[in-house]
Amino acid sequence: MSQNDRFFFERYGLDEGALEHYLGAALSEGGDYADLYFEHTTTSSILVDESLVKTASEGISVGCGIRVVAGEQTGYAYSDDLAPERILKAAKIAARIASGPAQVSTVGLSTLESQHDFYPVVHAPTDEGLDPKLDLVRRADAAARAYDSRIGQVRVSYADQIRHVLIAGSDGRMVTDFQPLVRLNVFTLAQEGSNRQSGSSGGGGRVPLEFFTGDRSPEWFAKEAARQAIVQLSAQDAPAGEMEVVLGPGWPGILLHEAIGHGLEADFNRKGISAFSGRIGQRVASDICTVVDDGTIPDRRGSLNVDDEGVPTQHNVLIENGILKGYLQDKLSAGLTHTSLTGNGRRESYEHIPMPRMTNTYMLAGKDDPQDIIRSVKHGLYAVYFGGGQVDITSGKFVFSASEAYLIEDGKVTAPVKGATLIGDGPTVLTRVSAVGNDLKLDTGIGTCGKEGQSVPVGVGIPTMKVDRLTVGGTAPKAATSFV
């Protein structure tokens, strides 16, 4: 084991015998399976608002979550103190919650060497001190303000963390991981008279501070946030009605994440409440659509060497040439449905139970030239950046706000529009995809996904994609003959 692998043993005095003792206590009331999730997380964050450092903080969080599974029942308890008596108490509480007739014995733990090394960060961001991080946010603040005199407000945030985890299960598997994460975000507000518009940009990943150079520099993100805000000052009201919509590459993949990805998480499907339940092997998209979830992309925000149940992440094909191939699994759902694990058991922290979650979800590139896609649209909408959105898992219906969008008129991108929302449902929207570009792009490393009160870092991506018919909600009525 490397130094990072031995972190909990050397810092907190754990050993294999103690772990086996805790697992035994967790299964003392019956149960099919138990696991321990130890976590030690170091964080730092900075917020600059109106060119003033409003907050700068550093912190440490440590604890252990204990899970016991008995059939479909799960008992979960945690301790923020790694004293043996506190861990044993939590183990016994979890045991009582999931007590049942099943009785299994723990087996001797053996360390599994990691199959992956997707974020080999030598100098962790948390080890760098606050000064270089303050330099990043101040540079971003200055660049955004210098972009245009109409930029009246700038807010820059920076956050990083280093998470050490150790996961031990009653099946004898024990794995460790060292997980860096960093993110820089810039928000701007532009004003012209009474017209006020905002823009945002940012990036990061499981990377060192040296990541923020070139087209990922603080200045680049700041100028992009400022550009968005300035563009919106001249935007006209968005049209409303059903029309052709072209999604730009990269961050618009958030629509794919929300409208399709959540519906393919195994817990919703084994309970029969997803719009995609029972549809494996069926056509759910046009034959030019292939959607994957891949936790193995180096340095990406959504990537992991192992998921939060200790299972190696992998490249999972969810939809292949329009056919639904599978769901995203955690151990509970995979066990109940006798399905292979996919490396998608994730949790926010040791305080939370794991569940099926996405990692980096995106559509593979197609064969179409992006400019040809634009030229094929007589009248429609080009959406290149999204703000908020929501989706109903049961029906698949979604509503998304396009924070940067343009009209397409006679095959050309023309005026910017504001107030555009995209309305539809996941199972239908992919069947209406008629063109997929050859320009797959992943987001810059800003995604955070929420589910049942838990937030985890994720990645999204998409090539330029044309949807033949999608309802656009706007503030200007659609003329009867303006849009297809």
Pairing of strands 476-477, 239-247: parallel
pLDDT-derived band at 482, boundaries 50, 70, 90 = very low
Going along the chain from its start, the domains and CATH numbers come out as: 7-233 (3.30.2290.10), 237-477 (no CATH)
Tokens linked to 466: 């044309």
Q: What is the pTM of this model?
A: 0.94
Question: How confident is the model over 219-235, as pLDDT tens digits?
Answer: 999 999 999 999 999 99
- Per-residue pLDDT, averaged over 6-34, amounts to 94
Q: What are phi and psi of 203, to 5 degrees?
A: -170, 175
Is residue 291's pLDDT more than 60? yes
The Cα–Cα gap between 229 and 196 comes to 8
Least confident of 315-319, 344-348, 392-396: 392-396
Position 477 scores a pLDDT of 38
Q: What is the mean pLDDT of residues 107-132?
A: 77
pLDDT of residue 102: 62
For position 440, what pLDDT does the model report?
98
pLDDT over 90 percentage in the chain: 86
96-105, 334-343, 412-421: the lowest-pLDDT one: 96-105
CA distances from 282 to 276, 322, 340, 365 (A): 10, 8, 19, 22
Angle formed by the axes of helices 131-147 and 218-233, nearest 10°? 30
Strand partners, 188: 154, 199
How far apart are the C-alpha atoms of 342 and 61, rounded to whole Å? Answer: 28
Residue 302: pLDDT band by 50, 70, 90 thresholds?
very high
Q: Using alpha carbons, list the distances in angstroms from residue 201 to 44, 73, 120, 161, 167.
A: 20, 42, 26, 20, 35
User: What is the per-residue pLDDT for 373?
Assistant: 98
Nearest partner of 164 among 62, 44, 59, 39, judged by Cα: 39
What average pLDDT is seen over the chain?
93
Tell me: pLDDT of 312 over 60: yes
pLDDT score recorded for residue 121 = 76
Mean pLDDT value of segment 393-415: 94
Q: What element of type H or E holds 39? A: strand 33-49
Dihedral sign for Cα atoms in the order 365, 366, 371, 377: negative
- How many CB atoms lie under 10 A from the CB of residue 215? 10
Q: How far is CA 353 from CA 65, 68, 69, 77, in A?
A: 8, 10, 11, 9
Alpha carbon distances (Å) from 267 to 350, 356, 447, 450, 451: 20, 7, 22, 15, 12
pLDDT bracket for residue 389 (50, 70, 90): confident
Nearest to 133 by CA among 153, 154, 157: 157
Cα dist from 103 to 70, 107, 145, 353, whole Å: 9, 13, 64, 22
Q: Categorize the per-residue pLDDT at 110 as very low, low, confident or very high, splitting at 50, 70 and 90.
A: confident
CA–CA gap between residue 303 and residue 362 (Å, rounded): 13
pLDDT, tens digit, 9 for 90 and up, residues 365-385: 999 999 999 999 999 999 999
* DSSP state string for 285-340: S-TT--EEEETTSTT-TT--SB-TTSPBP-EEEEEETTEE---B--HHHHHHHT--
> Using one digit for the tens of pLDDT, what is the confidence trace for 188-211?
999 999 999 999 999 999 999 999
Can you tell me the distance from the alpha carbon of 401 to that of 213, in angstroms, rounded to the nearest whole number? 30
Greatest Cα pair distance in the chain:
75
Choose the weakest-confidence range: 395-399, 453-457, 462-466. Answer: 395-399
